[in-house]
Structure 1
Amino acid sequence: MKDVYLLSGFLGSGKTSLLSHLIAQFKGEGIKPAVIMNELGKLNFDSRAVDDDIPLKEMLEGCICCTGSEKMEAQLQMLLEGEEFDVLIIESTGAAHPVEAMDAVFSPLFAKQLNMKGIITVADCKRWIDRDLMSPQTRMLFLEQIKHAHLIVANKIDLLSDSEVATVTMQIQALNSSAPIIQTSNSKLPLTLIKKLEATYHEKEINETALGKQLFLSSRLFTFQEAVDQEVFENWVRSLPDTVYRMKGYVPLKGHKYPFLFQYAYGMVQWLPEYLMMEPQIVIIGDQIDKLDMIGSGS
């Protein structure tokens, strides 16, 4: 049987960083991983974190639980029949409830082929401190992702003081007393810790947070018509409401030949140079983003 790990966590928490670290460690031990990545939007920016030699399936425009188990089963079937691999890692979108996503793996079709090791939830410690500022719907999802984890990665502790780290860890442990908590920066988790997981699935009370129902997260694709000034762009980013949780894509900057890879999560911005002519567009994820005034658009 092939072990399966499900990576959960809110938007921008560090799931893709964790995925990259786990892939590198598996490969270092001669274990070949396969990956299923789920994106809320239409573009697969995060899949660039997966090496070309890793079998990869992608589910775009929605979360595993929203697009239906049939699509997930089809992806699993293609991997099992068409690819050679030893372990499967599923990265769910930040808008997915982890238990609903895990249920999609429990198909009778794969009962003798897949062994669900557990849900690993990446919890953004800085976001935890300000969780009361989130909308009730998104806060509920944030807490549910932690509540149903088998292992909790308390990430971004480098952004907190020692006393804040201690407080956050204690509060998260109170929410989910059965899952070990590992404190990390940049989601650097030792592989030995996840190998010890053995998921025990209980019928816990699940608060529904389905996309388009109680949860109003959505995605928006914006294409740049011309290069922008970096300072002007960052000022626009700082002006955005707290309901924007995640942005990622390729931003064409004045004075540079190729667009830069741009990432934004919880008020923090990251720029990385690119050396190819990538499509100049970004995906924005959040609440009520259809009402945003886009840079240079006037609407």
Structure 2
Amino acid sequence: MEAIITVVGFLGAGKTTLLKHLMIGYIDKGWKPFIILNDYENANLDAQQFIEQIEPKQVKALSGSCICCSGINELRDFVNRIPKRTNGITLIEANGTSDACSLMSFLGVGLNDRFLPPVQISVVDVKNWQKRGEHNELEANQIQVSSLIVLTHIENIPLDRLTFVVNELHKLNPLAEIINMDKVDVSLLPKLSPSKNNAQKFEHLKAHWSSCSTDLPNLPNSNCIYDICNVLPKSILRVKGCTQIGNKEEYTYFERTPSGEVLVRPFNGVPITGSKLLTIGPGSEPKLLEKAIKTSLLQQNKNELKHATTKYKPY
């Protein structure tokens, strides 16, 4: 029978990093993973980051709905259509605002008999755990029916902070094993059993936020990326984008995490939906994104003009 592992966790906790770790681990051991990624806006941006190690037909992006509710039927139907294969395993990454308890309640209903009951892994950002303000309840919900909790962002974390977070996790989910990312053994994960922990009640609507996207033009330099991310308000918890920089043919991917950190890295291939800027969180509107892009380009023009004036200033 084929195992199904769902990876959940708050925005920016490290779900995609864990998913890549699992995928590579299974491929190295002769398994044939199938990857499903869910996001409100353009999950294809993340999906394309996997195709260097796995065939494109083994990666599926589900965008525009949340798999914990409105997208659950689409997810379940797609899982049932995954081709049967020897040493198969299905890895699902839920979007960062998923109601993880609802996801596990609904996903296993109606799956084909060849699949084992789904199990859930939560990714917890130790540095920012329960520092989400009004979203703390959602973050706590995302670990309560997980069989395994994986700790991330533990570099330079004081021991008392780490101990505090682990103790709080044990209170919410005393049945889950808690380990660091580097301790994850892929060979043991298919043997996990679904959690029997009793989750606290959670108002499902708190898991649903606004999101949007808009076309992103080529940017003159990487400074525009930081300008865009700085202009967008902090109420928007996740910013992602992909475009070309200057005269470079390759594409650049960037994101702003909920902590405000901006990460920039090369993008594999060409985005199938074209260059995009997308956001998740309260206040996400296309006009806001368009204004941020315009502001960054105007700022860049001012900087170039100032540089040119200074360079050619007569003595």
TM-score, with structure 2 as normaliser: 0.80
Residue 81 (structure 2) aligned to one of 78, 81, 93: 78
- Compared CA separation, residues 164 and 66, structure 1 to 2 (3 A): same
Residue 144 (structure 2) aligned to one of 134, 144, 147: 147
Alpha-carbon separation, structure 2, partners of 1:275 and 1:193? 30
Unaligned runs of 5+ in 2: 296-315
Which residue pairs with 1:19 in the alignment?
Answer: 19
RMSD over aligned Cα atoms: 2.7
TM-aligned CA deviation for residue 289 of structure 1: 1.8
- Compared CA separation, residues 274 and 150, structure 1 to 2 (3 A): closer
- Compared CA separation, residues 296 and 45, structure 1 to 2 (3 A): closer
Alpha-carbon separation, structure 2, partners of 1:199 and 1:76? 18
Which residue pairs with 1:65 in the alignment?
Answer: 68
TM-aligned CA deviation for residue 124 of structure 1: 1.3
Which residue pairs with 1:176 in the alignment?
Answer: 173
Residues 1:235 and 2:232 aligned together: no
Alpha-carbon separation, structure 2, partners of 1:91 and 1:67? 16
Whether the 8 Å contact between 2:101 and 2:199 is mirrored in structure 1 is: no
Unaligned runs of 5+ in 1: none
- Compared CA separation, residues 171 and 65, structure 1 to 2 (3 A): closer
Number of corresponding residues: 288
Look up the SS of the partner of 1:22 in the other structure.
helix
- The 5 Å alignment of 1:209-288 reads 209=204, 213-254=205-246, 256-266=248-258, 267-274=260-267, 276=269, 278=271, 279-288=274-283
- Compared CA separation, residues 189 and 238, structure 1 to 2 (3 A): farther
Alpha-carbon separation, structure 1, partners of 2:173 and 2:137? 14
Which residue pairs with 1:106 in the alignment?
Answer: 108
Which residue pairs with 1:164 in the alignment?
Answer: 161
Whether the 8 Å contact between 1:38 and 1:60 is mirrored in structure 2 is: yes
1:190-228 alpha-carbon deviations (Å, 9 max, x no partner)? 31452441114466444132xxx3345122212223424
Whether the 8 Å contact between 1:156 and 1:184 is mirrored in structure 2 is: no
Give the partner amino acid of 1:235: D
1:254-285 alpha-carbon deviations (Å, 9 max, x no partner)? 35444311122121222113475543212211
Which residue pairs with 2:49 in the alignment?
Answer: 49
Give the partner amino acid of 2:97: A
Bigger Cα displacement from structure 2, 113-122 vs 52-61: 52-61
Alpha-carbon separation, structure 1, partners of 2:61 and 2:275? 21
TM-score, with structure 1 as normaliser: 0.84
- Compared CA separation, residues 241 and 205, structure 1 to 2 (3 A): same
Which residue pairs with 1:119 in the alignment?
Answer: 120
Look up the SS of the partner of 1:147 in the other structure.
coil
Whether the 8 Å contact between 1:2 and 1:115 is mirrored in structure 2 is: yes
Look up the SS of the partner of 1:225 in the other structure.
coil
Give the partner amino acid of 1:91: E
Give the partner amino acid of 2:154: I
Whether the 8 Å contact between 2:175 and 2:197 is mirrored in structure 1 is: no
Bigger Cα displacement from structure 2, 257-266 vs 17-26: 257-266
Give the partner amino acid of 1:127: N
Alpha-carbon separation, structure 2, partners of 1:104 and 1:50? 27
Residue 191 (structure 1) aligned to one of 186, 189, 203: 186
